[in-house]
Amino acid sequence: MNDSVSGQLPIYKRVFAVTALATSIAIATPNTAQAIPLRDLIFRGIQVIQLSNLSNKQERELGEQIHRNLQSQGMRLHQGRTLNRYITRIGQRLVDAGSRRRKVDYRFQVVDDSRVNAFATMGGRVYVTTGLINIADNEAQLASVISHEIGHIEKQHLVKQIRKTMVAQGLTTAITGSNRSQVANIGINLLVSRPQSRSDEYDADREGLRILRAANYATSAMPAFMRKLVSSRSTPTFLSTHPAVPDRVVRLENDIQSGPQNECDRNPDLISCGLSQSRYRQIVGRR
Ligand SMILES: [Zn+2]
């Protein structure tokens, strides 16, 4: 319904369709600079600037397009009110304390999926699976993943990755009504099938730690949860596409040691620090 290109194809076929289209356009582009009229070059230059200068509204619209495409490709949103409210409460606490993009309207959503995963797209869209909620020991661990994902949106990582990909494929990067769904699928392709850029991950960790600290959660939960996930029997999807987890743990622990403290460093037993396992289980249950 939302995607005139590939209807109800499963995600991998749709991604392939987009890539194939992109490749064919790239091949059709003359590869000698002299062959491209100057007017086209200038026009293309202007279009490239458009994706690099997305307004908040355009970014939100592209985030909504990605959301629609994910849903038509089979992503199931969790319908239970308790978990959705809980995730939104945690996310909003983090955003209120630490977001520097005040005009971004953040939305936190629970995906019904037993696999351990979390991801952010753009325009404030953050997703966490029921599998991840289930494996976390406490609220602070869950908040640490959400704050990492907020970090990606604060730094517009996916927008930049899409732009890079489109430029590399010789596509103009202006977003129009007719190609928005294709641009969204390039973003989905980047999320599902490519290893995340190492520097983006460090960047999101740093940003996430800053936000977690500002919201007065126990920052120790961030490296603790990563340790827990890599030592679990099957490495979660989102870590298999993320680089060098032990490296990230070391960096986080150093940053925690050397960075400013919050009230949980002085008094980790405060309920608001989010370390109580029993309280967490009462809210999320055992699923
Ligand atoms: Zn990440």
pLDDT at 162 over 80: yes
pLDDT at 12 over 80: no
| Lowest-pLDDT range of 16-20, 201-205, 239-243 | 16-20
Confidence of residue 234 (pLDDT cuts 50, 70, 90): low
Residue 204 contacts residue 148 (beta carbons within 8 Å): yes
Cα 207 to middle of ligand 1, angstroms: 11
Q: Which tokens hold the place of 159? A: 């927008």
Cα 280 to middle of ligand 1, angstroms: 24
Cα 242 to middle of ligand 1, angstroms: 6
Residue of 191, 184, 243, 252 whose CA lies nearest to 218: 252
Cα 152 to middle of ligand 1, angstroms: 7
Cα 36 to middle of ligand 1, angstroms: 38
Cα 191 to middle of ligand 1, angstroms: 10
Note the pLDDT of residue 25. 32
Q: H or E stretch including 120?
A: strand 118-120
Listed in sequence order, the DSSP H helices in the chain are 11-28, 38-52, 56-72, 81-98, 130-135, 139-154, 157-168, 180-193, 198-214, 221-231, 237-240, 245-258, 263-266, 277-284
Cα 209 to middle of ligand 1, angstroms: 12
| Lowest-pLDDT range of 56-60, 152-156, 234-238 | 234-238
Which tens digits make up the pLDDT trace of 31-49?
Answer: 333 344 444 444 444 444 4
Note the pLDDT of residue 179. 77
Cα 41 to middle of ligand 1, angstroms: 35
Cα 259 to middle of ligand 1, angstroms: 21
Cα 282 to middle of ligand 1, angstroms: 28
Residue 190 contacts residue 78 (beta carbons within 8 Å): no
DSSP 195-215: PPPHHHHHHHHHHHHHHHHHT
Task: State the Cα torsion 238-241-244-245 to the nearest 10°.
Answer: 0
Cα 166 to middle of ligand 1, angstroms: 21
Please state, rounded to an integer, the average pLDDT across all residues of the chain: 81
- Domain parsing of the chain, residue ranges: 11-284
Cα 127 to middle of ligand 1, angstroms: 12
Residue of 180, 187, 175 whose CA lies nearest to 47: 175
Cα 64 to middle of ligand 1, angstroms: 20
Cα 125 to middle of ligand 1, angstroms: 14
Cα distances (angstroms) measured from residue 66 to each of 59, 121, 190, 240: 11, 8, 12, 22
Cα 113 to middle of ligand 1, angstroms: 18
pLDDT mean over 195-207: 87
Confidence of residue 229 (pLDDT cuts 50, 70, 90): confident
If you average pLDDT over each of 4-13, 95-104, 179-188, which comes out highest?
95-104
The percent of residues in the chain predicted with pLDDT above 70, rounded, is: 74
Note the pLDDT of residue 242. 60
